[in-house]
Structure formats: structure tokens, C-alpha cells
């Protein structure tokens, strides 16, 4: 796991045989093991990580999720895109959260100067600087490395248990040469044009993330091209270090460390699965 997680990503054949990757009534189910205890000295809990064979540069990516991994101590799921092909890299974290986080955190990462003005947008807690290198023009791993990136926090119900309780919903991501936008639609508020298979973003409400090149100066077309789609569920790792674990009193009371909890509490991850109705890419 490139994020240092306590996870054992298994092969397609192993995931299929163990029931961690399957099709159920036309829906794609992708999850982590919630049955077996594992040793803290092992690679970690069995899980899945999918990467698309093809990449896309511009287009409208729509994911209809009936369920995403629920809130749990130690969990770190993500649905995201990444440029594996070249520098400067660009990463779009469409759905990401850790442990009992209430709302989705959307982030953009770049290797080089890139910032946006996200003020006056529907999301909360906007972050403007996308450059992994912080204030530098590159992205060296230093004490000033900006792992948070830029982005915004989604509305209530956009992540975890609350998302699932509402029947899931849709995340739509539009990438053009000059802008990057992300919408979240709860199940009860999905636009009719999406349901009809003819999505028209010009008719939708304002996105909760609207990254415009004209509003900050970041070269969207340079950084956010050749994006591969990634779906994964990891545990612990870089986003849940010991300090993070110690500060989460509910989780800390259950185990001394993230790794110890994840290893010994498989039933805590009964909701650790994605259930996709579809992922579709529209391009002109």
C-alpha cells in the first residue's frame, strides 16, 4: 500500500473467491474482510484496490453509489483519480474519509504551484493550496510537505453512515481544460437528466467544489490530465498515525493502536464495502 496502510491488497482471483469482489443483483460489491482476525505483524487486513485500465483527460465522471464504507475506527476508504503516467502528477480525491469523520473531504493535489479561491462555495472548510511542495514550485518530501492539498468539505450526509442511511447517492466530477467541478447528489435529489442518461451540468445546482483556472490561476489542463480511476479500502497508514489514534477517544478506548484494533476486531468492518450501481464517463 503506497500510503503505508495496515492492509493486504489481494488479487482479483483471491478477492472473488473470498467474496470481497462480486456482482450482486447487477451492483458491484467491493469490500474488506470482516470475518478473520489477523496478526499485528502481518501485512494487514485483506482488502481490495482497483485501478482502471484506461485513463481519461477531460470528461464528466459519474459514480452512483448505493453504499460506501461506513464509519469505523481505523478505516480509510477512497474513490479517487490519479495521473500515473507523468510529472507533474495530479490527484483528485473525490470521496475520502478516515475513521468516524462525518462529512466527505474532497482534495486536489499537484506537483507544482497550483491554488484556487474556494470562498463563497457551498462546501465548508475550503483549502486553497494544492501543491504537495507547499510554497515551493515542486513537490519534494520535506517538513513543509502539504499533504492536505486544496479542496473543500462536503455537506452533511455526504460520507459514511449518513450517506448509506439515505440510500447513497451520486458523485459527479467534471474535468475540462480550465476547470474541475465536483457535485454530490443525495439519492432523493438526483437530477432527472442523470437518471435519463443525458447529464447536463449546466442545469444542476452549484457544485460544492468549483476549481476554476480563472479563479486562482492553476493550470487545470496541465495538472489534472490522464486520470486513472482508483477505488480502495485501507486501514491505519499515513492518515491515521498514533497521534491521530490517541486523539480519537472513542477508538483509543478500544485498543492501544490503530493496528491492534484493526487486527483484532473484524466485525467492526461489516460495513466496510462499496456498492456501485455504475460508474460512467461522458466525453464530447
In this predicted structure, what is the pLDDT of residue 136? 63
Which residue out of 86, 91, 141, 271 is catalytically annotated? 91
Give the start-to-end residue ranges of the domains of the chain: 7-282
Q: What is the mean pLDDT of residues 104-108?
A: 96
Query: For residue 8, what pLDDT band results from cuts at 50, 70 and 90?
Result: very high
Task: Note the pLDDT tens digit of each residue in 262-272.
Answer: 999 999 999 99
Q: What is the value of pTM for the model shown?
A: 0.95
In this predicted structure, what is the pLDDT of residue 2? 84
In this predicted structure, what is the pLDDT of residue 125? 80
In this predicted structure, what is the pLDDT of residue 215? 86
Of 89, 83, 63, the closest CA to residue 183 belongs to 63
What are the grid coordinates assigned to 278, written together? 455504475
212 annotated active-site: no
**Long-range interactions of 212-217: CB distance < 8 A, separation 24+:** 212/116, 212/178, 212/179, 213/178, 213/179, 214/178, 215/116, 215/117, 216/115, 216/116, 216/117, 216/128, 217/115
In this predicted structure, what is the pLDDT of residue 138? 63
In this predicted structure, what is the pLDDT of residue 259? 98
Burial class (CB in 10 A: 0-12, 13-18, 19+), 123: buried
Of 128-142, 174-188, 202-216, 237-251, least confident by mean pLDDT is 128-142
Q: What is the mean pLDDT of residues 69-91?
A: 90
Q: What is the mean pLDDT of residues 165-170?
A: 98
CATH topology (fold) of 7-282: Jelly Rolls (2.60.120)
Q: What is the mean pLDDT of residues 73-93?
A: 89
| pLDDT > 90? residue 277 | yes
Task: Note the pLDDT tens digit of each residue in 119-151.
Answer: 777 767 889 999 888 666 567 666 677 888 999
CB-based burial, 28-37: b 16+ in 10 Å, e otherwise:
bbbbbbbeee
Query: For residue 87, what pLDDT band results from cuts at 50, 70 and 90?
Result: low
Distances (CA, A) of 168 to 94, 152, 189, 277: 15, 20, 11, 10
In this predicted structure, what is the pLDDT of residue 137? 59
Q: What is the mean pLDDT of residues 31-40?
A: 98
86 annotated active-site: no
Which residue out of 86, 96, 141, 174 is catalytically annotated? 96
Amino acid at each position: 500500500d503506497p500510503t503505508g496502510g495496515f492492509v493486504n491488497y489481494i488479487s482479483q482471483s483471491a478477492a472473488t473467491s473470498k467474496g470481497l469482489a462480486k456482482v450482486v443483483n447487477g451492483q458491484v460489491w467491493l469490500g474488506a474482510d470482516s470475518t478473520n482476525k489477523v496478526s499485528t505483524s502481518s501485512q494487514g487486513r485483506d482488502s481490495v484496490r482497483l485501478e482502471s485500465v484506461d485513463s481519461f483527460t477531460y470528461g464528466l465522471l459519474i459514480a452512483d453509489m448505493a453504499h460506501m464504507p461506513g464509519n469505523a475506527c481505523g478505516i480509510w476508504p477512497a474513490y479517487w483519480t490519479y495521473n500515473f503516467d507523468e510529472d507533474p502528477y495530479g490527484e483528485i480525491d473525490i470521496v475520502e474519509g478516515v475513521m468516524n469523520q462525518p462529512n466527505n473531504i474532497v482534495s486536489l493535489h499537484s506537483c507544482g504551484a497550483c491554488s484556487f479561491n474556494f470562498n463563497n462555495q457551498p462546501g465548508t472548510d475550503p483549502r486553497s493550496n494544492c501543491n504537495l511542495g507547499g510554497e515551493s514550485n515542486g513537490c519534494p518530501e520535506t517538513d513543509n510537505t502539504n499533504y492536505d492539498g486544496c479542496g473543500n468539505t462536503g455537506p452533511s450526509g455526504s460520507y459514511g453512515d449518513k450517506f448509506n442511511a439515505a440510500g447513497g447517492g451520486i458523485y459527479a466530477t467534471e474535468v475540462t481544460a480550465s476547470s474541475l467541478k465536483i457535485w454530490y447528489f443525495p439519492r432523493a435529489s438526483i437530477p432527472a437528466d442523470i437518471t435519463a442518461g443525458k447529464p447536463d451540468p449546466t442545469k444542476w445546482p452549484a457544485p460544492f467544489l468549483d476549481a476554476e483556472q480563472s479563479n486562482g490561476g492553476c493550470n487545470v489542463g496541465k495538472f489534472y490530465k490522464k486520470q486513472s480511476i482508483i477505488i480502495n479500502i485501507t486501514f491505519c497508514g499515513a492518515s491515521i498515525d498514533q497521534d491521530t489514534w490517541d486523539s480519537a477517544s472513542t477508538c483509543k478506548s478500544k485498543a492501544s493502536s490503530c493496528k491492534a484494533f484493526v487486527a483484532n476486531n473484524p466485525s467492526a468492518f461489516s460495513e466496510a464495502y462499496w456498492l456501485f450501481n455504475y460508474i460512467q464517463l461522458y466525453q464530447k
